[in-house]
Amino acid sequence: MAPTTLPPPAAARQYRYFDFVMVAFVVILLCANLIGPAKVAALGGFTFGAGILFFPLSYVFGDILTEVYGYARSRRVVWAGFGALVFAAVMSAVVVGLPPAPGFGGQAALEGVFGNTPRVVAASLLAYFCGEFANSFVLAKMKLRTGGRRLWLRTIGSTVVGEAVDSLIFYPLAFLGVWESALVLQVMLTNYALKCAWEALMTPVTYRVVAFLKAREHEDYFDWETDFSPFRLGA
C-alpha cells in the first residue's frame, strides 16, 4: 500500500509593513509609560502628565492595525505591548531596588523617574489591557456595521470608548485614597478630554496611513468570523 502523503500546509499571509507598525506601537507604548509619567506639565492653563501627549498615539496605531489587518492580528500586538510593559516594570523595579554603589549619586533621580509603586504599575497594566482591547473591539464591530465606511467615526468612536475604559480603571486604582477624590476626578476628566481631542486631530494622518497600507498590503480586513476573545493569540 502506497504511503499517504499530506498536502503542504497553506502558506500564512505575509505582510510588508505589519512588523514595522507593531514595533512602532510597542515603542510608543513603552516610551509613553516610562518617560511621560516622570513629568507634570502646564500649558495654556492646563496641568497634565506629559505622557498624554504621546500615549494616544498607541490608540492611533491600534486603530490602524485593526482597520487594515483585523482584530485578531491587532490582538497579538496588544499582547506584545502588554509583555513589553510587564518586562519594563520588572526591570525598573529590579534596577531601582538594587543597592547603589558607594559614590553613585543618581539613585534619587532613578527612583523619581522609574520608582513607580506596585499599585500604579498594576493599575497601568490593567488599564492598558482593557482599554486597548475595548478600542480594537469597538472599531472592528463598527467596521462591520458601517460596511467599511466613515473611518473617522470608527477611529474617534473606538478611542472615546477605549480611553474611557483606560481612564476609569487607571486613575481610581492608582490614585484614589492617595490624592483627594476631587483631584482624581479633575485629572481623569482633563486627561481623557485631551486624549480624545488628540485622536481627533490625528484623523487626517490616520486616513493617509490606512490608505497607504491598504494599497500596499492589498488588505482591508473585515472581522466577520473572528473570535473576539482577548485571550487567544491566533491570527
Evaluate if residue 12 carries a pLDDT over 70: no
Measuring CA to CA, how many Å separate 51 from each of 6, 140, 182, 195? 53, 27, 21, 10
- In this prediction, residues 35-51 reach a mean pLDDT of 73
pLDDT score at 10: 44
- In this prediction, residues 216-226 reach a mean pLDDT of 96
User: Which segment of 20-29, 82-91, 109-118 scores lowest on mean pLDDT?
Assistant: 109-118
Residue pLDDT, tens place only, 138-186: 999 999 999 999 999 999 999 999 999 999 999 999 889 888 999 889 8
DSSP for 52-113, please give it. GGTTHHHHHHHHHHHHHH-HHHHHHHHHHHHHHHHHHHHHHHHHHHSPPPTT---HHHHHHH
CA–CA distance, 203 with 177 (Å, rounded to integer): 37
Evaluate if residue 53 carries a pLDDT over 60: yes
pLDDT score at 1: 52
- The count of other CB atoms within 10 Å of the CB of residue 124 is 20
Q: How large is the angle between the packed helices 56-69 and 151-175, nearest 10 degrees?
A: 140
Evaluate if residue 55 carries a pLDDT over 90: no
For the chain, domains (ranges, CATH) are 18-96+113-217 (1.10.1760)
CA–CA distance, 175 with 9 (Å, rounded to integer): 51
If one compares 11 and 126, the residue with the highest pLDDT of the two is: 126
CA–CA distance, 49 with 191 (Å, rounded to integer): 8
Q: Give me the percent of the chain exceeding a pLDDT of 70.
A: 92
Local confidence band at 3 (pLDDT 50, 70, 90 cut-offs): low
Evaluate if residue 134 carries a pLDDT over 90: yes
